Structure 1
């Protein structure tokens, strides 16, 4: 497995990581036995970067990882996130980046994970009314206290990244980035390259659209998230499946699973990018990891982008409720 650096001064990690949202039931039921088998498979593939959040299953993902680590030992570079509050009665979300909340949330995450320190701690969603410089100072204090190795932000704008980096180096920014979501190329990729910040790309295979087994109507309807997401409701879903059929054909001609080609394209797009695909299936994880072994030529990149040109996707990547929290910058 190739490696990439998690921030200019951070550790080297596997060129792709593993997102652990799926083990919390976000896209369907997942057992702890499945999660343990998935983590074992990741280790066998050379994946050592595991990404979670206190929001994934209200701490469930962290608890499962904690039990795995208690059994297997410190085998992953860990990243987790905080900053989202959820009303237990209504499920309504709000964002809190106060020092008090982040400190309490971090301590709770460390307890669930069973560790004294995580390698990377993100603000999951920015609290718009609180200066990001203040939040950055809070995060820097966690580094100084030895509770985290480095910090980052999820779904922020390039301008916010530059403001934060003026206070303290920011190791990583997490953002959705794939052949279906090219917005990071309008400033975020460039800012990360300038600042030495890793761009940790979630949903790198387009929530399944860029795989050989994309979600059909039945699978999309069974997911609380996908059934409300504009790209997975009709007529957009059928149009997106037709569009990505061309990509699957290109991948097949190259002798690759579609997911491998999608990952390879991302890794070739910028040296700052570290994809963190999520899955519950070890065989699919192997397809994703294979993307880190593929060397694409300039001609390959051109063919891929002719097949799925910028703007090919039908429907927004989020509906209005799902857009609450991410910073729009273009």
Structure 2
């Protein structure tokens, strides 16, 4: 089966990192156009057969959320082997305020006419203005506390591999419930009922990357059953995702601190899915692992359990600038 060309519409709040996302996509081989008039979207898509990323935000001529949604529906209805997705970049208001203050850039909706007086009011106005796009997005990326290298790895994991119709990118993600559900998650499992190494003074400072912690968690009488049930569920639903044409699935497992139980489960599931005898489950799609809370502490980073067949990984770092 021929690969379906990807067409990505990248939108979101000003200052949330849209320009950084577009730069990463350009590094990955996408043709990138930022802020074209909405009336030109069809022509842009028609003029190239390469993967395409188009930036759209409040600066775009003729910008209205409903008009963007209509353009998105029209592009998806066009005949031909292409896969159209909407990416939405966001960040907490306090973070956006700090970014604009640090760079001394003017918000696109802030002007001298009084229609959006002040930076905070401009941010609030934009949040309201483009809320329908967030609701319709295929992927919402919150860059509030996401280091630039992690943003790059996320985009590479999701969009750096041109899937054919028989494979899918899979990300296994551990997280802490008190820090919020990961917005990109397609499936979420709760490991908080398992025995918690946090209360063992020797294990508290360790993580699920350490064998001692894994052994402790596995000793819970319900661990093996829970693990087997997760695998059985994945074997049921992931092939259906592929059949629907879904190109990426994020499986998230959470616990209280995102350090012990969820990390243990993600590591064991990654090891199981990465084995050759499990290839039938996910075809030849790449598998990435991310421990969100450990990454925020600088104790872990993205890694590939099964890498994409072709992936560009530039050496340079990127900045998450207001965009």
Q: TM-score, length-normalised on structure 1?
A: 0.29
Larger radius of gyration: 2
Q: TM-score, length-normalised on structure 2?
A: 0.30
